[in-house]
Structures are given as structure tokens and as C-alpha cells.
Structure 1
Amino acid sequence: MTHYFFHICSRTERIEDREGADFDTLDAALAEARLAAREILAEDLRKGHVDETRLFEIVDERGELMARVPFKEAIS
């Protein structure tokens, strides 16, 4: 099991995930990132503001970047 962190990045800011979560595979972490992105976008829609430039940077416990998941991929 690997501990991953899901940092949210946009053109203007980076919000670091300080807790992270454990996943058996990177694919499982990617699936979680897509689900979380959909939830964040849905909340943004309710508020009337959507920033499709945001993405998750998935980083492992060593700080190595494992993947980037653009939020706009979550809506397809």
C-alpha cells in the first residue's frame, strides 16, 4: 500500500494535501482523484463558478510526482 497526496493546482494557487490517503495501486488513487474532481466541480457549478484549469498533482510519500489529473478529464 502506498500513501498518496492530492495537491490541487490552478494557474494562481496550489493547495497542498497534508493528510493524503493509502491506496493499493496508482490506478486506485487516479480513480479517487477523478471522483473528487467531479465532486469539486459539482460544488463549483452550484456556486456558479467553474475553474477548468485546476488539476490534481498526485504525489507519493517520497514527494515524487506520480500523475497529474486535470479536473476537466473528470467530466468526460
Structure 2
Amino acid sequence: MTRYFFHICSRTERIEDREGADFDTVQAALAEARLAAREILAEDVRKGQVDETRFCEIADERGRLVARVPFSEALR
């Protein structure tokens, strides 16, 4: 298992995931990132302030960027 970290980024800020979560594959981490993006967007809709330009950077336990998931991708 590998620990992955999900950093939420926008044009003006980056919220670092300091805990991370363990997944068997990078595909499982990608699925989790898409689910988290959907949940964040749903909360944004309830607040009336949607920003589809944000994205999630997935980094491995060594800090290497392994994927970037645009929030707009989570809407599909």
C-alpha cells in the first residue's frame, strides 16, 4: 500500500493534505480524488459559489506528484 496526499489547489491558494490515505493503486487514489471533488463541489453549490477551476494534486509518500484531477472532471 502507498500513502497518497490530496492537495486542493485554486488560482490563489493551496490547501495541503498532511494526513493522506493509503491505497493499493494510484487508480484507487484517483477515484477517491474524484469523489472528494464531487463532494466539495456539492457543498459549493449549496453555498452558491462554485469554482470549477480548482484541482486536486495527488502526491505519493515521497512528495512526488502522481496525478492532477481538475474539479471539472468530477462533474462527468
Query: Is the TM-score greater than 0.5?
Result: yes
**2: CA distance between counterparts of 1:19 and 1:53?**
24
TM-score, length of structure 1 as denominator length: 0.99
- What percent identity do the matched residue pairs reach? 83
1:74 paired residue number = 74
Q: Deviations over 1:2-37 (max 9, x none)?
A: 000000000000000000000000000000000000
**1: CA distance between counterparts of 2:58 and 2:22?**
12
TM-score, length of structure 2 as denominator length: 0.99
Moved over 4 A (4+): none
Stretches of structure 2 lacking an aligned partner (at least 5 in a row): none
Q: Deviations over 1:41-71 (max 9, x none)?
A: 0000000000111000000000000000000
1:65 paired residue number = 65
2:47 paired residue number = 47
CA RMSD of aligned residues (A): 0.3
The count of residues paired between Structure 1 and Structure 2 equals 76
1:7 paired residue number = 7
